[in-house]
Structure 1
Amino acid sequence: SDKINSKFIYKSLFIILVTAFSIFSAYTLMPKMDYLPLGNKNMMESRFTPPPGISYNERKAMGDFIYRELKPYMEGEKDGYPQIDNFVFIASSTYVALRATSKDESRVAELQPLLASVSVKLPGITASTSQVPLFNIGRGSSNTFLMNVTGAMDYESLVNTVRLIQDRIMAEIPEVQLRLNPTSNPVYPEVQIIPRREALKSAGVTATELGISVDAYLDGRKIGEFKDPSLGTIDIMLQGERKSFNNPEEVYSILVNSGSGLPVPISSLAETKEVMGIERVRRYNYQRSFLFIITLPKGMVLEQLQEKIDKKVIEPMRAEGLLQGITIYSSGASSKLESAKQALSGNFILAILITYLLMAALLNNFFYPFIIMFSVPLAASGGFIGLDLVNKFLTPQSLDIITMLGFIMLIGSVVNNPILIVYQTLNNLQYGMSGRDAINDALKTRIRPIFMSTATSLFGMLPLVIAPGAGSELYRGMGSVILGGMALSTIFTLFLIPALLSLFVGRKKAKI
């Protein structure tokens, strides 16, 4: 009796330790998440933020300078950089970019410091240089973090806060490349119309009505839409008498209908203030907004960058009271990552549930499928171990959406081996074997097909992980997860499943 009890304790302890190891290793090795893989597109891009109002001649001079700088690198390898196959310079009044391709497609990433060094030589220009990702998400891409900053405050206070956030980000995370849209440098003269509350009240005009009137006389005010099956949606605009305003004084003379029906000039209802403004105004919920476009540095993923910005920049500034009245939210790949995480988590649980119910229906039992499902934590642990090994010994590989699909695929793959052992054990019991003999015979007769099927899967998946071809590097993460999950699960399944079975059917006597 003591011997039986000690064996029971040892087996229980082994099962607990293996399960705890699986959960602990999966938790500790789980990396920060990314949205989509960068890929290896043969194109490097520098995006410039030129001074507002840059002229055609200045843009042409930029192009000539870049051509002189890069021409020697088109003739062959130089200074350790790969040969440039082609490059193009695109310049308009609002968009300036440089794109280059490598003669050797596998070395395009090495052009990044070259293009960055050329960009630095352009006076008054800020630029961010990165490899063009395969996937674009709306305004951003899979390797950019978009952060929106809005505030219901005066323009100068908002700009000062935006500059402070920018300085803090560059000080705390100097390896990132950051662009602002629009630029925070005020260089354009503008006239601000500031309502006088008492004058508006006396005239029976609201601030909203004043704003609509000014809009209608200047660029027009959208008041509705007309939908036509052939033409689509047409905006209905309220437009005052079309004329050009040559100076601010002409704007002051715009007439607005008062509450009594008599026209009143704007100059009697509002004050005007001449200030320097930005090139264009970006708004969110009718509030001025600035967009931070932050390019991920090599080796950093989206979730990691977002956490760094929150902990090192945003949270300390909120604690110091520097972000009162400021709203900060992420968009682009970052917001899509959150929704994708929730969707995949639900799909993972659903896959486990469907697999369990399917096995319960096939085995006509709800208990034995539960034993089989013990292989899933092992597979998850092996998946994270495989991903970690790829990161350490092959190439940086993030936990992106495609990689996460590998964990869902693992559920249907790793249960096959335990099914063989459990099903053969149940067959042996039906033929009258004792519980212990049934388990030993099932393991002995099924170990060869288990190793055969697993080995073919592992060796078939190995080239995808070790030496992927052009385009297939997108699936390297998924391959490493499946490879590691199947390998670890197969090894421990041969010990864990028999131990679990022996706890419940091991004491059954043979039937004569």
Structure 2
Amino acid sequence: MTADTVGSRVHKATLQSVNRIIGSHRNRVICIAVTCVTSLLVLFTLTPPAEYLPEGEEPKVFASMNAPPGYNLAAMQAISEEVEAYFLPFVGDDPSRFQRGETQVPALKYMNMRVAPDQIRIIAEPLDAADIDAVMDALTNKYKTYPGMRAFAARGSIITSNDGGTRSINLDIAGPDLAVIYDVALNAYRRAEEVFENPRIQTSPNSLTLAQPMVEIRPHWDRAAELGLNAEQLGFTISALTDGSYVDEFFLADDKIDIYLYSDAGQQATLDNLDQMPIYTPSGAVLPLAALADIIETVDTSAIRRVAGRRTVSLNIIPPRSIPLETGVEMVKQDVVQYLKDNGKIPLNVQTNISGAADQLDAARSALTSNYLVAVLIVYLLLVAIFNHWGYPLLIMTSIPLGIAGGIVGLWLINAVGGILPWVGLPAISQPFDMISMLGFLILMGTVVNNPILIVHRAVENIKASGMSALDAVSEAVDARLRPIAMSTITTICGLAPLVLIPVPVQNCTAVSVLL
């Protein structure tokens, strides 16, 4: 069978189907009703939950271990040496050993480590990019073997910061009392771990305990005023006698150098002799610090974070990749925040707010919705200008809902087929419904009307020039325009197919929407 024969048969079958549909009033009504109902069902049942942006991932892991109050650089250095000794043998290892289950850590290409008094941070990359999740799990599991440590790991991103920015759900907890908001944050942290399966959770500040040793110096303001000391002078003097007081800065070549003022007497200051530090007053008297202030040893937080002037603790919750961002936001709202409120674990004077990528998703979706309306209006006005008629463009634009439904079906098919690929030994394919995909649907509005324009224009010309009836005009228009429509469709499919089939997420998002 030749290609011409196949083409002729397809052409004839298509034309017969069109004639059958438009041949009677009953068939036309059924076709319109089925098309509308099918499009609505697809939009309401198959539209996937939204994501914000493609992660633009690079195969790197950024893992942090945050220490509770009381740790110092020496203690963290000792822990870092143990962690390094554990992971270093896997640098340059054979990747197949992990695939065979002989090791619990995948082979690493490299591992960088930074140690601070309150944190250890590791940047690592697996030899096999498919092992990225296993590397994150291995690092966090090792971190959690140290009591009190809080572990967090995220993939590297070329689009946002390396802390899960495009999928981070930020839960801001604000209130007047640090002890209360820390307690609420801990409850939210534990509840999020129950709701999500293996989530990545980071807190800001890193520690959620009021156990940081602290020395409070509470001045006797009446006594200080008698000696001519104000708050700024007293604070500057005490800083100079202990950690040093900032004076100014200067530039040496390209380096900025801070200038601090120190006292020889204060360099050896300890808690035992702090109250005996000599304070020189403007009146010329020299008094011990104990004569001007009370020195109180206490515990508190190591950092105070404020948002809009309120004391705030933020939880950055990154749901598992199997849970879309939109679904994750609803789970945080209902299963975390509302659950805690219903159980009386969030006091009335504590406010919660969800921000981060969740906020940006809502803002971007609102902007795209208004852009869709503007795009529809522009397409309509352009068609009115082309046809010099207000009604024909409405007929052409009825193809837009059907085209959008086709794009939704295409996304569903991509994810459905991609989910079963591991059964035949191929890597899974997943196409999220993110903002780039939504831009593809915006582009789709301009392309989906191209074929109806050809049909309607030919049919109108048939009626005006040849005096055909409406049914004969449409039938002839389909007969004449079917071949160029098929040719343009095939070239579009062939042009976009590489972008769909080649795994480059930022390209795939738009191409899938337009192609399908």
TM over 0.5, shorter chain:
yes
Deviation at 1:161, TM superposition (A): 1.6
Q: Show the 5 A alignment for 1:278-297.
A: 278-297=301-320
Judge conservation of contact 2:98–2:106 (CA < 8 Å) in 1: no
1:28-67 counterparts in 2 under 5 A? 28-51=45-68, 52-55=71-74, 56-67=77-88
Per-residue deviation, 1:170: 1.5
Secondary structure at 2:382 match in 1 = helix
Aligned to 1:172: 195
Give, in whole Å, the separation in 2 of the partners of 1:32 and 1:406: 16
Shift of 1:164: 1.4
1:371 match: secondary structure: helix
Equivalent residues in 2 for 1:136-147, closer than 5 Å: 136-137=160-161, 141-147=165-171
Moved more, 50-59 or 392-401: 50-59
What one-letter code is carried by the residue in structure 2 that aligns with 1:47? S
User: Aligned letter for 1:89?
Assistant: N
CA distance in 1, matches of 2:351, 2:231: 27
What secondary structure sits across from 1:35 in the alignment? coil
The answer to whether the 8 Å contact 2:179/2:210 transfers is no
Matching residue of 2:474: 439
Which residue is 1:493 aligned to? none
Q: Does 1:78 align with 2:97?
A: yes
> Judging changes above 3 Å, is the alpha-carbon distance between structure 1 residues 399 and 365 closer, same or farther for their aligned structure 2 residues?
same
Q: 1:404 aligns with which of 435, 438, 450?
A: 438
Give 1:162 shift. Answer: 1.5
SS in 1 for 2:51: coil
2:16 paired residue number: none
Match of 2:417 in 1: 393
1:116 to 1:161, Cα distance in 2 relative to 1, 3 A: closer
Superposition pairs of residues 494-505 of structure 1, within 5 angstroms: none
The answer as to whether partners of 1:403 and 1:475 remain within 8 angstroms in 2 is: no
Whole-Å separation in 1 of the counterparts to 2:281 and 2:34: 80
Find out whether 1:368 has 2:423 as its counterpart.
no
Q: Which residues of structure 2 form unaligned runs of 5+?
A: 1-22, 247-253, 283-287, 419-428
Code of the aligned partner of 1:33: A
1:183 alignment partner in structure 2: 207
Q: What's the offset of the Cα at 1:270?
A: 9.7
2:40 corresponds to 1:23:
yes
- 1:147 and 1:293 map into 2 onto residues whose CA distance is 6
Matched residues in 2 for 1:127 and 1:60: separation?
Answer: 17
1:40 positional shift: 4.3
Judging changes above 3 Å, is the alpha-carbon distance between structure 1 residues 477 and 215 closer, same or farther for their aligned structure 2 residues?
A: farther
Q: CA deviation at 1:8?
A: 3.5
Which letter does structure 1 place at the counterpart of 2:444?
L
Write the distance in 2 (CA, Å) between the matches of 1:349 and 1:39.
29
1:481 and 2:513 correspond: yes
Query: Whole-Å Cα distance in 1 between the matches of residues 141 and 234 of structure 2?
Result: 50
Distance change in 2, residues 1:89/1:422 (3 Å): same
SS at match of 2:33: helix
CA distance in 2 between counterparts of 1:270 and 1:7 reads 98
Distance 1:178 1:318, change over 3 A: same
Quick one: which of 122, 126, 142 aligns to 1:98? Answer: 122
Describe the superposition over 1:137-172 as per-residue Cα deviations: whole angstroms up to 9, x where unpaired: 59752233222222112x222221211111221122
Give 1:25 shift. 1.1
Q: Report matched runs for 1:308-387 at 5 Å.
A: 308-319=331-342, 320=344, 322-387=346-411
Q: Residue 251 and residue 409 in structure 1: after superposition, are their counterparts in 2 closer, same or farther (change >3 A)? A: farther
Return closer, same or farther for 1:316/1:121 CA change in 2, 3 Å cut-off.
closer
**Structure-2 separation of matches of 1:323 and 1:22:** 46
3-state SS, counterpart of residue 41 of structure 1: strand
Q: 1:143 to 1:13 in 2, by over 3 A?
A: same
Tell me which residue corresponds to 1:225. none
> How far, CA to CA, are the matches of 2:345 and 2:146 in structure 1?
37
Shift of 1:289: 2.0
Residue range with higher mean Cα deviation, 56-65 or 393-402: 56-65
Percent of pairs with identical residues: 24
Distance 1:19 1:212 in 2: 77
Q: Given the superposition, is the C-alpha separation of residues 439 and 109 from structure 1 closer, same or farther in structure 2, using an over 3 Å criterion?
A: same
Gaps of 5+ in 1: 1-5, 204-208, 223-230, 258-264, 485-512
Q: Relative to structure 1, is the Cα distance of residues 270 and 11 closer, same or farther in structure 2, using a 3 angstrom cutoff?
A: farther
Q: Decide whether the 8 Å contact of 1:148 with 1:329 is kept in 2.
A: yes
The number of residues matched between the two structures is 458
Aligned CA distance change for structure 1 residues 177 and 126 (closer, same or farther; 3 Å): same
- 8 Å CA contact 1:210–1:256 kept in 2: the answer is no
Q: For 1:361 and 1:146, locate their aligned partners in 2 and report how far apart those are by CA, in whole Å.
A: 48
Alignment correspondent of 2:249? none
CA distance in structure 1 between the aligned counterparts of 2:385 and 2:280, rounded to whole angstroms: 80
- Give yes or no for the alignment of 1:306 onto 2:325: no
1:12 pairs, out of 9, 22, 29, with: 29
Change (3 A) 1:313 1:85: closer
Greater displacement, 413-422 / 296-305: 296-305
1:455-508: per-residue Cα shift (whole Å, max 9, x none)? 22123322322x314xx2322232222222xxxxxxxxxxxxxxxxxxxxxxxx
Spell out, residue by residue over 1:196-239, the C-alpha distance to the aligned partner (whole angstroms, 9 max, x if none). 9xx99xx9xxxxx97998699659999xxxxxxxx9xxx9x9x9
Taking structure 1 as reference, are residues 246 and 321 closer, same or farther at Cα in structure 2, changes over 3 Å only?
Answer: same
User: Do the aligned partners of residues 246 and 457 (structure 1) sit closer, same or farther apart at CA in structure 2, a change above 3 Å counting?
Assistant: same
Deviations for 1:15-37, whole angstroms, at most 9, x for unmatched residues? 13312321231122121111111
Amino acid in the other structure paired with 1:332: G
Matched residues in 1 for 2:292 and 2:348: separation? 31
2 CA distance for matches of 1:256 and 1:448? 97
Which digits, 9 at most, give the CA deviation of each residue in 1:81-117, with x for residues without a partner? 7963522232221442223223344554454444444
Deviations 1:306-360 (A, max 9, x none): 1101101111222336232222223332222222112211222111111111111
- Aligned pairs for 1:409-428 (under 5 A) are 409-428=443-462
Alignment of 1:124-273 (within 5 A): 124-137=148-161, 141-153=165-177, 155-181=178-204, 182-191=206-215, 246-247=270-271, 250=275
Give 1:328's aligned amino acid.
T
The alignment's TM-score, normalised by the length of structure 1, stands at 0.76
State the secondary structure of the residue aligned to 1:77: helix
SS in structure 2 opposite 1:280? Answer: coil
Task: Label 1:313 to 1:13 Cα distance change in 2 as closer, same or farther (>3 A).
Answer: same
In the alignment, structure 1 residue 464 sits paired with structure 2 residue 499: yes
